[in-house]
Chains A and B, each alone.
Chain A
Amino acid sequence: MRALLLAGLVAVALCGCSSQSLSIRRLPDETPAADNAAAIKHAAELAAAAKQAVERQATEDASGAVTPLTAADAPSMYTYDPWERLNRSFYRFNARFDDAVFLPVADAYNRLPWPIRTGVQNFFLNLAEPKSVVNYVLQLRLRSGMRSAGRFVINSTLGIGGLFDVATRFKLTSDPTGFSATLARWDMHPGPFLVIPLLGPSTLRDGVGLLTDYGVSYEINVADLYRGNQAWALGVLDPINLRANNDFRYYSSGSPFEYETIRFLYVHRELIEDDALHAKAPRKARDPGTPAGR
């Protein structure tokens, strides 16, 4: 039955719904007044962070603890993508699946009252804390690991199974990590660009990280949620929650070069994160002729 359902969804995705001459899709309401109020708040936070970053940069420059990168340290602007043809077909499949299945479901989900959606999101964030604890330990970031463990205990109890994020009120803010970040800490390159079916743009390192994180969560098996029928419910609700909270829309650029754009953004953002992670390590020379990620 489950296999049939999956096959049906894949068939719908492959056909897409773009064969109809007209479709009208109701989207969640826009909330411009609230969005602008949030933008004002975010602008103030960014200004404060910017000021802090400039001050910190001046201090670090003076102490010599962090050597600033120069233009010569930038990786090549071309991206390592040896599986391009396969990646492109997965990208196309994901776009069709998104249009035919994922987005309509996510749009419907977004019409649920916000307390329900927030509760679901908090629940999954809480469920991810144990694998964050494991990875923080592997990264030797024990303080962050303690914070993550504290969040899990508080939210699982006072937060009623993670539905409420009580820990943030105790100044234990969410900062999830995973095995990809652990591999990055161990100095592993992002590797080739990779498009994962249904999940989207990634790198080999992120793909391995994702699988390992799932394995860790499966082994920990909080409240027996990763076994039996509840695992299926989890496997359906988690991606819907993720999709509903992600604004990315395949081919909203309308551009035939969108794949190249996303590849560039994804891999180079990851490289900047890696450079940030190893800020205090000696700089390594980069060969400008080697595609980024290789």
Chain B
Amino acid sequence: MLLAVAACWLAAAVASGAQPPAPLVPLGPTTDPATGLADSAALRATVYGTPPQDIAPMPARVPLQQIDIALPWARPVPEVFWFDRRLRVWLSAQDEPAPLAIVISGAGSDGNTSKLSLLRGALYGAGYHVLTMPSPTYPGFIVSASSTGVAGDLLQDSRDLYSAMQQIIAHLPHRVQITDVDILGYSLGAANAAVVKSIDATEGRLHIHRAVMINPPVSLFSSMGRLDKLFAISIGSSDAGIERLYQMLYARLANVYRTSEQIAIGDSDVLAAATMVLKTDSEYSAAIALNFRIALMNVFFAGDLYAGTGAVVDPKRPPRVGDSLEAITRALRTKPFSEYFTRVFAPYYLARKPHSTPESLLADNRLEIIGDALRSNPDYYAQTNSDDLILDQPELTWLEQTLGKRLAVYDHGGHLGNLGDKHQIADMLDMLAGRWTGSP
């Protein structure tokens, strides 16, 4: 089973942004080897997120509408995805004319995550209409809005996002009066946001003004490669490693509750507790790697199903709505991103892009494809952390050289570990308003 991945609690907690105040087990010197990919502070910030006391001021109330829309170009929906027929996005509209901020979620996430909730609150409080959208790697988007079904191509995914945005904006209630359009995104959504703005610069259908990237990858595939490595180092590449992690977590969680007066466990408590029992860098790394692996499983499955590549799904006998997916999840959970690339992504795109090679496909997924626009257009901004674990030093240097003063680099925060923080939000709003003058 999927989250059979042992620590599904823990991955769910990381994904949901559960924010326990501190590790439950006393932190001593770590005995596990460091992963070498990020330091302890970065790993912990990535897992725990911004402490609630450091969150930027938020408005008292934010109205919210859920919009479900069927897109005219949607591909036939495989039976097992029956619930993902329509694209779901969320809108918070001001009562008076206002600029629209479109926010794109991170890899594998939907358009209503806790991170998006923070951004929505801050943007609505600053006077924006806010439209939050899922990542093009979220299964609901792949099924309802992707023109290929094979997610991960930066340009194609962003084109699909751009088309979906046009449809959504055309169907917004008439009382929503838009004076300007800006775009933001975090993690993979940051790269998508920038590419969408560059597409709009050519096509001019939405007139997107400014783009702010929050913790963007420079190369999707090298970032995923780093996370694959994190998984291999902290968990291992076989089922045995996953089983070990699960058993360790189970015993620690059970021991917490065995010595507690509380016996009935609330839904959110168990998620918070799961992150609180982590002790070593290796365990923090495992939590982060697992979170990405789970997102990848959905992308891998959907891609294989749509492309008919037969990596985990028999194209002649695709699973039906009531079928058990246990065998497929067991197969998927040990598969790294590199295998998605070689068995699904590359075969699909090599057949459709004349003269392409695996190397050219990798190159096409770097932010460099819009490098000229990023260098010369003053309306692109970015925020990142010097210890963001999805970037290596050359990639950070590339961002600094490309964006210059339009890049804010914070000392600490890991990957998205300071999203919602007072400084991050204040700088983001300054960037969107064109008030940003330089480093924090």
In the bound complex, do residue A79 and residue B70 qualify as a contact, i.e. CB atoms below 8 Å apart? no
In the bound complex, do residue B298 and residue A24 qualify as a contact, i.e. CB atoms below 8 Å apart? no
In the bound complex, do residue B250 and residue A47 qualify as a contact, i.e. CB atoms below 8 Å apart? no
> Chain A contacts of B24 at CB under 8 A?
50, 53-54
In the bound complex, do residue A53 and residue B21 qualify as a contact, i.e. CB atoms below 8 Å apart? no
In the bound complex, do residue B258 and residue A73 qualify as a contact, i.e. CB atoms below 8 Å apart? no
In the bound complex, do residue A84 and residue B265 qualify as a contact, i.e. CB atoms below 8 Å apart? no
> Chain A contacts of B265 at CB under 8 A?
269, 272-273
- Size bracket of the B interface: 35 or more
Q: Which of B19, B21, B53, B319 contacts A50 (CB 8 A)?
A: B21
A254 contacts chain B at the CB level, 8 A cutoff: yes
> Chain A contacts of B255 at CB under 8 A?
57, 68-69
Q: Which of A23, A73, A265 contacts B12 (CB 8 A)?
A: A265
In the bound complex, do residue A78 and residue B258 qualify as a contact, i.e. CB atoms below 8 Å apart? no
> Chain B contacts of A247 at CB under 8 A?
267
> Chain A contacts of B270 at CB under 8 A?
265, 269, 272
> Chain A contacts of B8 at CB under 8 A?
261, 264-265
A53 CA to B253 CA, complexed, in Å: 12
> Chain A contacts of B250 at CB under 8 A?
69, 71, 74-75, 268, 272
Cβ contacts B46-72/A at 8 Å (1 or 0 each): 000001110101111111111111100
- Size bracket of the A interface: 35 or more
In the bound complex, do residue A50 and residue B4 qualify as a contact, i.e. CB atoms below 8 Å apart? no
In the bound complex, do residue A54 and residue B84 qualify as a contact, i.e. CB atoms below 8 Å apart? no
A23 CA to B298 CA, complexed, in Å: 26
Name A71's closest neighbour in chain B (CB-CB). B247
A263 CA to B124 CA, complexed, in Å: 37
> Chain A contacts of B192 at CB under 8 A?
none
In the bound complex, do residue A46 and residue B68 qualify as a contact, i.e. CB atoms below 8 Å apart? no
> Chain B contacts of A53 at CB under 8 A?
24, 256, 259-260
In the bound complex, do residue B3 and residue A264 qualify as a contact, i.e. CB atoms below 8 Å apart? yes
B73 contacts chain A at the CB level, 8 A cutoff: no
A193 CA to B19 CA, complexed, in Å: 29
> Chain A contacts of B398 at CB under 8 A?
none
In the bound complex, do residue A46 and residue B52 qualify as a contact, i.e. CB atoms below 8 Å apart? no
In the bound complex, do residue A28 and residue B64 qualify as a contact, i.e. CB atoms below 8 Å apart? yes
B200 contacts chain A at the CB level, 8 A cutoff: no
> Chain A contacts of B244 at CB under 8 A?
71
A4 contacts chain B at the CB level, 8 A cutoff: no
Cβ contacts A1-44/B at 8 Å (1 or 0 each): 00000000000000000101111111111111111100110011
A73 CA to B253 CA, complexed, in Å: 12
In the bound complex, do residue A22 and residue B112 qualify as a contact, i.e. CB atoms below 8 Å apart? no
> Chain A contacts of B243 at CB under 8 A?
77
> Chain A contacts of B251 at CB under 8 A?
68-71, 73-74
> Chain B contacts of A26 at CB under 8 A?
63-65
B246 contacts chain A at the CB level, 8 A cutoff: yes
Shortest distance between the CB of B69 and any CB in chain A (Å): 5
Shortest distance between the CB of B334 and any CB in chain A (Å): 14
Name A263's closest neighbour in chain B (CB-CB). B1
Cβ < 8 Å to A, chain B residues 285-303: 297-298, 301-302
Pull 12 A–B residue pairs with CB atoms less than 8 Å apart, ordered by A.
Answer: A32-B59, A33-B57, A43-B51, A68-B255, A69-B258, A175-B264, A253-B139, A254-B139, A256-B325, A260-B4, A260-B329, A273-B264
- 7 residue pairs, one from A and one from B, having the closest CB atoms: A254-B140, A32-B121, A32-B58, A276-B257, A257-B2, A71-B247, A39-B52
